[in-house]
Each structure stands twice: as C-alpha cells, then as structure tokens.
C-alpha cells in the first residue's frame, strides 16, 4: 500500500472512480444477547479476537478492509489493487471465515465465551471507489447501489437461515470455482430491479459435504416458478429428507401451501419475485 502511494501521490486526494468490484458484509448473529452476557472488558477482548481473525482472512485474500460497523465487517475486493478474480477472492474469504469460526468454537467455549455465527452477503458490480470525507480526514471506501445490495443480502441470510448469500452477479463470476444453490428472485428495499440470489456452499456440517439436495431443491424451484405447487412441495420435502430442517425448503413449502389456497396467484400471472420491504 505504501509503495502504491509513493508511486501515485494523487491517490491521497479526495475523489473516486467507477470500477467493477466485489464487496462483502458480515455481521454477528445475536450480538445483543452476546454483549449482554459478558462483562464490558470480556466483550471487548472477545470482539478484538473475533475481528482480528476476520481481518486476517480478508488480508490473506488480498482484500481491503473498508471498515468495522460495530460488530460488522465490510471488505472490498478488486481495489485499490487490481484483481480480475475479485469475486472468487470474496467467496473464498467468506468460506474461510466460517471455517475459522468453527475451529475457534471449542477454544472460546473453554474460555467461557459463547460461540459466534455470522451472516455474510456478497455482491459484485460497478461502484464508486476512492477517498471520501473532508480535506482533513477521509476514508478509502466504496459507494453505490451494488454496495447497498451486498448489505441487504447479508440481512437476508437471517430470513433464509443460511450462512452466505451472493448475488447473481457474483455467482456468475465465481461459478466455476464454487458450489452454489439458487435460493430465490428477490426485490430488496430500495431496489426496483429484482435479482437472483444464491447460497454459497462451504463446508456443510449438516450434510457432511453431501450436496445431493441441491439439484432436488432446484427441481422444486422450477416447479414453484411454473405454479406447480404440489410437485414443488414433493421436491422440497425430498430435499428435507437429505438436509433436515433446511430453512429454504421449509419456506417454499409454506409458500406453496399459501399459493394453493389463494385466488390471487396463478401460474399465468406469477412473476416469481419475492419482495422485502425491510433492510
């Protein structure tokens, strides 16, 4: 970083440029309960351990730590250092984050500390990157709709009960390197255009790396989008036999049953888009 500043002193000036980048947001699940269960000194020490581990992963994948937002981590891939594989680096970082958290569970338990799980949202797209702030104090950061979408995707991990959600834009750039499960077509708060979202599969501690449920889930998704509710339910129930209590499958069974009993949705007018009005 210092070498790049020496080579290009103008990089310290205010302003930005449009670039295609990948941004990652992670957030601790149930942080309020964790903070209430620990003394302030223990909480501070615990959070520093957690943030150090997560930051090391970002750095090891040559990402740029944008900022900490309370217990949340925001990272950029593809700037300031040019990286054609920025989406792959972000996905690798997310998977490694969960591997480290899983490894540290026993260590933290012995220290009387609670286990930590996070939700991660990743999106790729054109955004403005550069130094933003005042002439006396500024931060190197990113702004734009694609940044906001990454944040929204992180929030959706709670609804779908999954660890990592990526947009169709990230999935397209990383699909040759990772396993993904298509989850839904959504329209999030603040966005008019719907986007396909995918679950990035890392090490699955529930199915022990057996991803046989994914093509079955996709069959259910296809039937659901055709308005074939009973057929879709059959596939999602079959998916549950492999991955018990799979939240996305349970969500779709509930949706299909609601559609069957509703006169307002039919296969002819169903646009398959699910809208979220909360952040």
Radius of gyration of the chain (CA): 20
CB 137 within 8 A of CB 14: no
The structure's pTM equals 0.90
**Tens digits of per-residue pLDDT, 41-66?**
999 999 999 999 999 999 999 999 99
Q: How confident is the model at residue 9 (pLDDT cuts 50, 70, 90)?
A: very low
Give the CATH number of domain 2-203: 3.30.70.1230
> What are the E-state strand segments in the chain?
15-28, 64-69, 72-77, 118-133, 138-143, 164-167, 179-187, 195-201, 273-275
Look up residue 278 and give its two tokens: 């909360």
Average of per-residue pLDDT across 69-82: 93
* DSSP reduced 3-state for 22: strand
User: What burial class does residue 186 get, using C-beta atoms within 10 Å of its C-beta: 0-12 exposed, 13-18 middle, 19+ buried?
Assistant: buried
**Annotated domain spans of the chain:** 2-203, 210-279
Average of per-residue pLDDT across 161-185: 96
The number of CA neighbours under 13 Å toward the Cβ of 208 is 1
Average of per-residue pLDDT across 220-225: 96
User: What burial class does residue 256 get, using C-beta atoms within 10 Å of its C-beta: 0-12 exposed, 13-18 middle, 19+ buried?
Assistant: buried
Strand partners, 140: 131
Residue 95 scores a pLDDT above 50: yes
Q: What percent of the chain has pLDDT over 90?
A: 64
CB 153 within 8 A of CB 161: no
């Amino acid at each position: 970083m210092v070498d790049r500043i020496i080579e290009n002193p103008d990089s310290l000036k205010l302003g930005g440029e449009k670039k295609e980048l990948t941004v990652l947001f992670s957030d601790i699940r149930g942080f309020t309960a964790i903070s209430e269960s620990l003394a302030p000194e223990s909480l501070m020490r615990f959070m520093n351990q957690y943030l150090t581990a997560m930051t090391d992963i970002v750095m090891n994948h040559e990402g740029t730590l944008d900022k900490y937002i309370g217990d949340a981590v925001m990272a950029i891939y593809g700037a300031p250092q040019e990286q054609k594989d920025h989406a792959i680096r972000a996905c690798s970082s997310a998977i490694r984050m969960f591997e480290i958290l899983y490894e540290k569970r026993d260590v933290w338990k012995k220290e009387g500390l609670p286990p930590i799980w996070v939700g991660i949202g990743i999106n790729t797209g054109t955004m403005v990157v550069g130094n933003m702030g005042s002439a006396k104090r500024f931060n190197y950061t990113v702004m734009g709709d694609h940044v906001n979408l990454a944040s929204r995707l992180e929030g959706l991990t709670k609804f779908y009960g999954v660890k990592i959600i990526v947009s169709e834009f990230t999935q397209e750039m990383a699909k040759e390197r990772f396993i993904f499960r298509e989850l839904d077509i959504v329209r999030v708060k603040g966005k008019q255009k719907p986007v396909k979202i995918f679950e990035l599969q890392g090490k699955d501690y529930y199915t022990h790396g057996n991803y046989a449920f994914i093509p079955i889930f996709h069959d259910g998704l296809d039937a659901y989008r055709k308005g074939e509710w009973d057929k879709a339910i059959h596939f999602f129930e079959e998916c549950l036999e492999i991955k018990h209590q799979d939240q996305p499958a349970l969500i779709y069974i509930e949706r299909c049953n609601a559609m069957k009993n509703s006169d307002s949705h039919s296969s002819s007018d169903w646009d398959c888009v699910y809208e979220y009005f909360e952040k």
